[in-house]
Structures are given as structure tokens and as C-alpha cells.
Chains A and B, each alone.
Chain A
Amino acid sequence: MSEETIKKIILKEDEDYIINMGPQHPSTHGVLRLEVCLNGERVKYMIPHIGYIHRGMEKMAEFNTYKQVIHLTDRMDYLSAHINNEAVCLAVENALEVEVPERVKYIRAILDELSRIASHNLWWSAFGMDLGALTTFFYGMRDREKVLAIFEESFGSRLLHSFNTPGGLMHDVHPNFRKHTMEFVKYFRKKLPDYKNLLTDNVIFHNRTKGIGVMDKETAINYGVTGPSGRGSGFSCDIRKVAPYGIYEKVVFREILYREGDSFARYKVRMDEMEESLNILEQLVSDMPEEGGFTAKMKPVIKLPEGEYFQRVEAARGEFAVFIVSKGEKYPYRIKFRSPNFSNLFVLSKLAVGGIIADLVATCGSLDLVIPDIDR
């Protein structure tokens, strides 16, 4: 943001037509407030205001043991709760140099990919709705329900399942887990053509998203935009490839990269990632060992050796990283959660300028923001 813009914010000019999108607005998907200055319908500048649901998680985590921190990470990016859990677990396991059983790695990766599909699916539904295609929302929800049913069967909860724990998993997965996952893969493969016909190929949709909110690679890197949004600009930032963790070294998959950098490229990245996740699921489910337990041996009270630990994982919306500073106690001395949406949000104020309100909505939707993850 240039200084000129900031001056404008403070000394609002009389002719500026300022509308507040949010904190309650259908297309901001939560309590995000965008202060938009318009010239006609064209956006002159846009300032995001955040902090409406800041819960001080980093401070709360300083009073929680490592096992208790897990349930806080659920509530940041609630759509990829499992992946967030895994970041903390991996950081603790790396610090303690615990080797988790092979089976746990497989199950974690399966759940990661299921979460990713569920998350992208919800995004697809909501993105369609942002653009006015209301039916997509129900089709997306219908298919996401199948993933949530698998979650519910194994973990007992559908969204915020604190299923990971340092050293492994809370329980073993349900005996039907493998079967139901395969069934879901088959079911979802059948439904994907509907998605394609309904939205991906639609000429109105193309007009609404192609060339809208163009972000080049340099901007993406400079703003730290990761995940599907960054990969839509050709920024190779898939942590599963860049710094593999868990079982991902053994899995064969490709990183989806598009170079256009517009909303449609970001859309395509997510659609392709859903298909790629299905491929990964097929590999993992067939290779998953039946035996091997679900947790490594851990002490009842976990104390990390003094030091600093950094763990990155690929959440559904980008790079999620945990930075733990330990002083050898059972509580972390300081935890920093590097959440993907925090970095992704601020590029919006650059992308929105020059477009019209409808473009702002499309760009905001294509960045796939989850507000609790921004505020933490």
C-alpha cells in the first residue's frame, strides 16, 4: 500500500464513495470487513479490516500442554483442521525424535487428502454462490457430506476432529475406513463431470473469472501467497513437494501449476487438485498396511528439549507452519502459527484495484479465505 493511499484513508476525500463490505456480508464468508472506495463501480482502493474474531490463540497455547495445543489448531482453519493438527504433531515428533509407525503416516496422509477434497469442495460450492450460481452450493455440500461421514465414523466428529496427537492418532481408524474411502473415491469421480458442466465450462463463468484479479509470480512470492492461490500464478510452493513430510515422499503425484494467475487459474488449480487428491487416495488406500498400530510410545507428559522447532505442512489453503520455542517445560514457551490466509488476504487489496465490485467478489472468492485462520 502506498503512502498516498494511506493518506487517503485518513483524510477521506468528499467525492470518495466508500462502501463497507462486511463484517456481515454474503460474499466475505465470515467477519471480514473490506472498506472499498468506489469510482462509479470501479474500485479505487480497498482496505481489509480484520480482528473481529481474534482469540489470542498464540497466547492461549502458552498455557496448554502440547497435547492440548492440538485442539486449538482445529479452530483456526476449520476446513483443514486435520492438516493443522498434523503440523503441531510433526513438530513435536521431530523435536523428540520419535518415529511414528508407517501405518500412522499413511492414515494421516489419507485424512489430509480427504480434508483437502472436503475443503476444496466447500470452496467450489461457495465460489459458485459468490458468482450467483446458487445450485453449486447444494451439489458441493451433498458430496462433501460423504467425506464428513467418513470422518464421523472414525473420529466421532465431522469438522473439528482433534484426531492427531503427538506420536500418532487418538484411536485406530474404523474397520470400514478403507472400504468407505474407496467408495467415496468412486462416487466423487462420477460427480466431477457435473462440476465441469455446471461451472468450469460455463461461458458466463469464464467471462466472470478469466483475466480477473491477475497476480503475477513475483507478486505472489512477494506477498507470500501460497497454496492453490499461489500455484495459480506459477509459484511452485506445494510443501508436499518442496519439503516432503510424512508419507508424501513415496507418493506419486504432480504439483498443479497454472501460469495465468487470474481467478480462473486459481479455480482450475483447485479443481485439478481435487482430482489429484483422488489419485493420491487410491495409491495410499491400496498401500496402507493393515497392521502396525496407531501410535508410537510416548511419555504421558511431553516435554520438548530446549530449542526452536519449525514445521511446515501444506494445508488446503497454503503453507501452514508452526514455530515452537521450547524452554524444556511441558508448555511451549512461544508458538507462532504461520497461517496461509493471513498472507493471502492482503494481496486482495492489490488485486481489487481497477476492477468492479463483481470482480472484487470473484477475486475474493478465488483466494478462498477462511476468516478464523486470518485472525487466529
Chain B
Amino acid sequence: MNSVVRYINDIYKGVISLWAGMRVTGKYFISPGEIVTEQYPENRATLKMEERFKGEVIMPHDENNQHKCTGCGICEVNCPNGSIEIITKKVPNEEGKMVRAIDKHIYHLSMCTFCELCIKTCPFNAITWGQDFEHAVFDRTRLTKVLNKPGSSLKKKEVKS
């Protein structure tokens, strides 16, 4: 008799547990408000990445096409993957002396692991994170970017107040 009771009990418990599972899925079926899908290309206008989002390394330029990079090469040394290359040139300053300045700040996005060491160690805060995340291109070479814009120059140091 005991085994018969256990047999029926097994069936009962099994059915109850199955019904509990079906209640969960049934509950979500009748509540379409729970849908979490984001319609990506359509929501471009409203899609805003977090302020700290690590999209790519960029070099902010001000309205005079000036940046803060002196070409010291600290970011290049700190990069673990060799994704930054600094090419410097000599330019005369106001006094006519030849000083080092940035020619090209080359950034290989394809090699970047977003470890943030370059940005963290930059003594002049010349580079920062950009929020752009749509990096897909048809040609790998286009992932190699020159961060300083053509014709840009070094920003004069602000006088500390």
C-alpha cells in the first residue's frame, strides 16, 4: 500500500511542480510590458551611452583646433599591446627654438584592449574616452586612426589662477 501511496504522491508532486513552472512562463506571456528587447538601430536617437563608456580613445580638440598632447610618449610606453604609436617632429616655438611636438598620434583600435592605462597615465589629460561604439568597418586598416586632427597645434598652458 505504501508504494501505491508513494506512486500517487510522486505524480501529484510532479504535476504541482510542473504547474508552478508553467505559471511563471504563463505570467510573462500575458504581461507584454515585461519585454526588455531594445530595438537597436531604431533607438539610435535615444540611445545614450554612459558618461564613462569606453568606446575608443579620442583626443579632444577645442574650437581653435588645439589639443593638449605634447608627444611625450608616456601612453605609448604604458600600452600593453602596442596599440599607440607616437610620431613627433621638431617645430620652432615663439623664441625660435626647435622643440618637440606631436606629428601623428596613431591609435590602432583593432589592438586596443580598453585597459585605460594610457588615459590614466597621460600627464596632460590629452586623451580621453569617446562614447562612439559603432566601430564595424569593411577594411581593417580603417581601424588605425590618427587622433590629432590635421593642422592642429598644442594648446598654450593656461595661466594658473
Which residues in A have some Cβ–Cβ distance to B below 8 Å? Answer: 64, 67-68, 70-72, 74-75, 135, 142, 145, 152-157, 160, 162, 165, 170-171, 174, 194, 197-199, 201-204, 300
Q: Tell me whether chain A's interface is mostly helix, strand or loop, or mixed.
A: helix
Q: Once the chains are docked, how many angstroms separate the CA of A231 from the CA of B156?
A: 61
Q: How many residues of B contact A (CB 8 A)?
A: 24
CB-based contact B36/A153 at 8 Å: no
CB-based contact B116/A202 at 8 Å: no
B18 at the interface (CB under 8 A from A): yes
CB-based contact B78/A68 at 8 Å: yes
B98 at the interface (CB under 8 A from A): no
Task: Closest A residue to B34 by CB, please name it.
Answer: A142
CB-based contact A201/B113 at 8 Å: no
CB-based contact B17/A202 at 8 Å: yes
Interface residues in B6-20 (C-beta closer than 8 Å to A): 13-14, 17-18, 20
Task: Closest B residue to A70 by CB, please name it.
Answer: B115
CB-based contact B20/A174 at 8 Å: no
CB-based contact B78/A203 at 8 Å: no
Chain A hits for B20, CB < 8 A: 197, 201-202
Distance from A43 Cβ to chain B, minimum over Cβ atoms (Å): 27
CB-based contact A300/B54 at 8 Å: no
Most buried by A among B14, B115, B121: B115
Chain B hits for A160, CB < 8 A: 113-114
Chain A hits for B113, CB < 8 A: 71, 74-75, 160, 162
Q: Once the chains are docked, how many angstroms separate the CA of A75 from the CA of B114?
A: 12
Of B21-29, B39-47, B61-69, B135-143, which stretch is located at the interface?
Answer: B21-29
CB-based contact A68/B52 at 8 Å: no
CB-based contact B50/A197 at 8 Å: no
Distance from A254 Cβ to chain B, minimum over Cβ atoms (Å): 27
CB-based contact A174/B24 at 8 Å: no
Chain B hits for A201, CB < 8 A: 17, 20-21
Distance from A287 Cβ to chain B, minimum over Cβ atoms (Å): 25
Q: Once the chains are docked, how many angstroms separate the CA of A239 from the CA of B126?
A: 42
Distance from A274 Cβ to chain B, minimum over Cβ atoms (Å): 17
Q: Once the chains are docked, how many angstroms separate the CA of A135 from the CA of B129?
A: 37
CB-based contact B17/A203 at 8 Å: yes
CB-based contact A170/B120 at 8 Å: yes
Also in contact, A203 and B114, with CB within 8 A (given A156-B54, A197-B21, A300-B121): no
CB-based contact A170/B24 at 8 Å: no
CB-based contact B50/A198 at 8 Å: no
Extra contacts, 9 of them, besides A135-B25, A162-B113, A300-B121 (Cβ < 8 A), are: A68-B78, A71-B115, A152-B52, A153-B50, A156-B50, A162-B114, A194-B24, A201-B20, A203-B14
Chain B hits for A157, CB < 8 A: 53-54, 114
Q: Once the chains are docked, how many angstroms separate the CA of A72 from the CA of B81?
A: 10
Q: Once the chains are docked, how many angstroms separate the CA of A312 from the CA of B88?
A: 44
CB-based contact B18/A162 at 8 Å: no
Task: Closest A residue to B116 by CB, please name it.
Answer: A170
Distance from B94 Cβ to chain A, minimum over Cβ atoms (Å): 31
